[in-house]
C-alpha cells in the first residue's frame, strides 16, 4: 500500500503550488500527487492566449517533478476514507496518507447530448486537439461568451480561422461586464471578423461526414443549421466536490475551508477552483476560478499542511486578453451591482467600480496597468461614498 505523508488529489495549478508550499516548509516529508490527467501540472491560461501567439509549448510545464514528489498520473481517486486515511484510485490501488489536499478543480459543463467530437475546452489535450484541427480546417463554432469562449474565439480569429460565437447572453462577458460594455465587445469582435451571435441557444449538434451540424435558435425564435468543422464549448465548470461530499465535508458551492484552507476534518485541506474561501475584506465566501487564487491558496494550503501558521487574507485578481484588449480585475465583478464606469476612451481604456451600498466590491482595470494594488486598497478600506464619487478614484492613465 503506497504511503505518503502528504497526498494531493488533483494535478492542476493548485496542486503544483501546494507541492511548492509543502517543500518550502518540509523538504523531506513524502509527497504524492494523483491526477486524472495523463500530463504533469501545467499553466492553463496560455491554452487560450500565449500558445496561439508566439509562446513556445515547452513553457507551459510547471516542472513539478523536480520537487521530489511521486507523480501518479492518469489515475482518478474514486473513494476516500477519512477515518482510515485512505484514497483508492480507479486502478484499485489504495493509498494511505497523513494529510490530504483536495485540489480537484472543476469539470467542464457539457452541452446536452453533444457527440464526442465537441471539445469542452479545459485541458492541454483539448488545446492540442483544437490546434491540430485549426492547422487543417477553417470553420469553427465557439459556444459560450465567458472567459474561455471569448479568448478562444479571439485566438482562432487571430490565426485566420472563420469563427462563429454563440451564446445566450446579450454580449460577450455579460456575466461580469455591464451590458453596454458587453455589447461594445460584440462589435469589437465583429470588426475583427468573428460572427457574433448573442441571445442564441444551441438546439443540437450532430456529425455529418467530417463536418458538424450545429442547430441554433436565434433571438426571434428563428432556427438555423450551421455547418462547421469543429465545435468548441466553454460553458463554465462544476466544482469537483464529490469526494469531499462522500466523507461528509461541508459544501457551499465548493468545499468550505477556513483561513488556513483546512476543511472541517483536521487532516484534510482544499485549494483552488474547488475551495470556498472566506474573504475578510469582502465579508463573504468566494470560490474564484482564477490562476492567482489557485496559486495562492495552493501554496498556502501546502504550507499549512506542513505545519506553518497560515491566515489567508487575499483578494485574488484575474486577467484576460481579447485581441489587443487586456484587462485585470480584483474582487467581485457582478454586473447586478451598481457599476460606475470611468472611461478615458469608451471601451478602450477605463476603470469600472462595482459598488454595493456605496462600497467598492470589485474593480475592473481595462487596459489600465499597474493599478492592482490601488484597487485592492479601495476594496479593503471599505469606505462608503456616494456612488458617483468613485469616478477618478484610480487614474485611468497607464
Point out which residues bind ligand FAD (CB under 6 A).
9-15, 34-37, 44-45, 47-48, 76-77, 103-106, 121-122, 148, 240, 243, 272-273, 289-292, 294, 318-320
DSSP bridge pairs for 35: 73
Residues making up the chain, counted from first to last: 398
Rounded to the nearest whole angstrom, what is the least distance from the CB of residue 382 to ligand FAD in the complex?
24
Q: Which three cell numbers, joined as nine digits, stand for 100?
A: 490530504
Question: How far apart (Å, rounded) are the C-alpha atoms in residues 243 and 9?
Answer: 10
Between 324 and 383, CB nearer to ligand FAD: 324
Helices (H), 257-343: 291-305
- Nearer of residues 293 and 396 to ligand FAD, judged by Cβ: 293
Compute the least distance from the CB of residue 383 to ligand FAD, in Å. 27
Three cell numbers written together for 32: 504524492
Q: Which is nearer to ligand FAD, 229 or 292 (CB)?
A: 292
Task: For residue 182, report the phi and psi dihedrals to the nearest 5 degrees.
Answer: -60, -40
DSSP state of 45: G
Shortest separation between residue 376's beta carbon and ligand FAD, angstroms: 15
- Is 221 exposed, middle or buried, given 0-12, 13-18 or 19+ CB atoms closer than 10 A? exposed
Closest to ligand FAD by CB, 26 or 291: 291
Minimum CB distance to ligand FAD, residue 41 (Å):
7
Least Å distance between CB 289 and ligand FAD?
Answer: 4
**Shortest distance, position 93 Cβ to ligand FAD, whole Å:** 12
For residues 10 and 350, which CB has a smaller minimum distance to ligand FAD in the complex?
A: 10
Among residues 12 and 331, whose Cβ is nearest to ligand FAD?
12
Count other C-beta atoms under 10 Å from residue 134's C-beta: 19
Listed residue (34, 14, 38) closest to 80, CA to CA: 34
Distance CA 211, CA 216 (A): 16
Report the distance separating Cα 193 and Cα 214, nearest Å: 20
Of 107 and 218, CB closest to ligand FAD: 107
We find the least distance from the C-beta atom of residue 186 to ligand FAD, in angstroms, to be 21
**What residues form DSSP beta bridges with 217?**
201, 223
d(C-alpha 71, C-alpha 80), whole Å: 19
- Which of these, 105, 78, 79, lies nearest to 239 by C-alpha position? 105
Amino acid at each position: 500500500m503506497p504511503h505518503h505523508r502528504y497526498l494531493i488529489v488533483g494535478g492542476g495549478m493548485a496542486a503544483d503550488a501546494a507541492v511548492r508550499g509543502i517543500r518550502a516548509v518540509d523538504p523531506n516529508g513524502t509527497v504524492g500527487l494523483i491526477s486524472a490527467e495523463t500530463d504533469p501540472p501545467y499553466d492553463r491560461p496560455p491554452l487560450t492566449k500565449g500558445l496561439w501567439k508566439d509562446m513556445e509549448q515547452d513553457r507551459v510545464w510547471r516542472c513539478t517533478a523536480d520537487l521530489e514528489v511521486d507523480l501518479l498520473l492518469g489515475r482518478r481517486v474514486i473513494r476516500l476514507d477519512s477515518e482510515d486515511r485512505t484514497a483508492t484510485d480507479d486502478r484499485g490501488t489504495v493509498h494511505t496518507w497523513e494529510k490530504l489536499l483536495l485540489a480537484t478543480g472543476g469539470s467542464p459543463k457539457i452541452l446536452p447530448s453533444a457527440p464526442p467530437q465537441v471539445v469542452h475546452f479545459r485541458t492541454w489535450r483539448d488545446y492540442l486537439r483544437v490546434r491540430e484541427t485549426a492547422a487543417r480546417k477553417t470553420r469553427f463554432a465557439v459556444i459560450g461568451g465567458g472567459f474561455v469562449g471569448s479568448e478562444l474565439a479571439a485566438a482562432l480569429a487571430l490565426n485566420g480561422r472563420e469563427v462563429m460565437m454563440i451564446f445566450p447572453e446579450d454580449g460577450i462577458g455579460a456575466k461580469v461586464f455591464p451590458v453596454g460594455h458587453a455589447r461594445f465587445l460584440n462589435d469589437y469582435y465583429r470588426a475583427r471578423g468573428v460572427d457574433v451571435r448573442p441571445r442564441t441557444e444551441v438546439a443540437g449538434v450532430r456529425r455529418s461526414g467530417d463536418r458538424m451540424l450545429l442547430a441554433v435558435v436565434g433571438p426571434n425564435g428563428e432556427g438555423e443549421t450551421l455547418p462547421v468543422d469543429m465545435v468548441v464549448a466553454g460553458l463554465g465548470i462544476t466544482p469537483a466536490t464529490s469526494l469531499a461530499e462522500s466523507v461528509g465535508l461541508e459544501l457551499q458551492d465548493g468545499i468550505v475551508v477556513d483561513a488556513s484552507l483546512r476543511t472541517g476534518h483536521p487532516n484534510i485541506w482544499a485549494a483552488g477552483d474547488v475551495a470556498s474561501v472566506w474573504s475578510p475584506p469582502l465579508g463573504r465566501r468566494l470560490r474564484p476560478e482564477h490562476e492567482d487564487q489557485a496559486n495562492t491558496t495552493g501554496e498556502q494550503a501546502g504550507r499549512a499542511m506542513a505545519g506553518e501558521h497560515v491566515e489567508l487574507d487575499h483578494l485574488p485578481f484575474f486577467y484576460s486578453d481579447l485581441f489587443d484588449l487586456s484587462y485585470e480585475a480584483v474582487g467581485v465583478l457582478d454586473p447586478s451591482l451598481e457599476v460606475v464606469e470611468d472611461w478615458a476612451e469608451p471601451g478602450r481604456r477605463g476603470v469600472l467600480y462595482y459598488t454595493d451600498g456605496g462600497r467598492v466590491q470589485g474593480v475592473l482595470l481595462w487596459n489600465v496597468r499597474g493599478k492592482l494594488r490601488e484597487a485592492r486598497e479601495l476594496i479593503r478600506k471599505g469606505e462608503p461614498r456616494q456612488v458617483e464619487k468613485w469616478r477618478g478614484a484610480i487614474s485611468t492613465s497607464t
